Amino acid sequence: MFLLLMLGLIGLWYGTELTINGAVALAKRLGVSEFIVGVAILSVGSDLPELAIAVGGAIKTAVDGDASNVVVGTAIGSTLGQIGLVLGITALLAYLTLPKRTALRHGAVLLGSIIILALMAADGLVSALEGVVMVVVYLIYFVLLWTDAGKHDPGTGEALQPPLKSFVFLLIGFSIVIVAAEVTVSSAIELAEQLGVSEIVIAILLIGLGTSLPELSISLGAVMKGKARMSVGNLIGSNIFDTLVPIGVAAMISAVTVEKSILFRELPFLFILTSVVLFFFLRVRGLQRWEAVVILAMYGGYVIAKVSGNL
């Protein structure tokens, strides 16, 4: 069962890579700015695993028992992994900067999305209507991102991939993601039952971290190409997406239950960790390496507390 879970995660990663390559190629073909590729295209593309798992979990809930813990745990675990582990590692390898205006605007949306999720789940259940609200909030943010497209310099000088090839990559990648998501959800639930471990722990620490692999590879690849702001934008955009869309879409299919531990532990910690990261960006022009160590230490402490059962 553990092997199936690993195969599912690998499938999610590979399918996502194909999808992202196709999406970026199409974006370049259409002349979309580099900023939009990072914040909107890459962040949404790299979050396909979380969305696919949420849809698969919601369908499983509607047909064959409650998989809400996998849906919620994966989304929250991914946001924690991205803002804590992925950003921390990336900041150790490169000097990450973000204009104060950008940090304030997108940071406010990021913190606001956490508050919205907490409000929607306050009674322990995210209903279909509340799911619609969460998705609509994200769509408004997404549309506003595209209205800013002309304010950033477009990428230039790279050979363009044929549009048909880009579309095929998108189609194949998305198909792989859907199949791999079903394998991941089913095997995670069975593994949790076999090990006597809570589904929420498996989802947060294992699946959530596994689905953050696309963001890690994208962020590291971006900074290696001198696109540090694209890397940061990708992570911020991914966290806004993961906080609102997967759980929102899942709730639209079948109501999602949210454990009290998520409301009183994970979400407050996510809010605090995100606030610390934004404070570091606003304090000086860029994220210092010692600040990256602090971020990694906070995330590492959380993981240790979760594994030991103290959180």
Sketch the domain layout of the chain as residue ranges: 2-149+160-307
Average pLDDT in the 15-41 region? 69
pLDDT of 67 > 80? The answer is yes
Task: Give dist(CA 139, CA 151) in Å, integer.
Answer: 20
Beta bridge partners of 257: 125
Question: Is pLDDT above 80 for 59?
Answer: yes
Locate 299 and state its tokens.
Answer: 């995330």
| CATH code reported for the domain at 2-149+160-307 | 1.20.1420.30
Candidates 202, 1, 208, 179; CA nearest to 85 is 208
CA–CA gap between residue 129 and residue 132 (Å, rounded) = 5
How does residue 228 score in pLDDT terms, banded at 50, 70 and 90? confident
User: For residue 235, which of 258, 257, 219, 256 has the smallest C-alpha distance?
Assistant: 219
8 Å CB contact between 118 and 243? no
Segment 49-59 shows an average pLDDT of 87
Q: How many residues are listed for the chain in this entry?
A: 311
The mean per-residue pLDDT over the stretch 179-196 comes to: 72
CA distance 16 to 173: 6
CA distance 53 to 70: 8
Distance (Å, whole) CA 183 – CA 53: 9
**CB atoms inside a 10 Å sphere around CB 183:** 19
- Of 244, 200, 179, whose CA–CA distance to 47 is shortest? 244
**Could you read off the pLDDT of 192-225 as tens digits, one per residue?**
767 777 777 777 777 777 777 777 777 777 777 6
DSSP run (H or E) holding 108: helix 100-120
Radius of gyration of the chain (CA): 18
Q: How far apart are CA 228 and CA 233, in angstroms?
A: 9
Average pLDDT of the chain to the nearest whole number: 82
What stretch of H or E contains 180?
helix 163-195
* Residue 39 binned pLDDT confidence (cut-offs 50, 70, 90): confident
> Residue 152's pLDDT band (boundaries 50, 70, 90)?
very low
HSE of 145, CA atoms in CB hemisphere, 13 A? 27
Predicted pLDDT at 22: 72
CA distance from start to end of the chain: 26
Q: What is the pLDDT of residues 86-137, one digit of tens each?
A: 999 999 988 888 888 888 988 999 999 999 999 999 999 999 999 999 999 9
For the residues of 119-138, what is the DSSP string, one character each?
Answer: HHTTTSEE-HHHHHHHHHHH
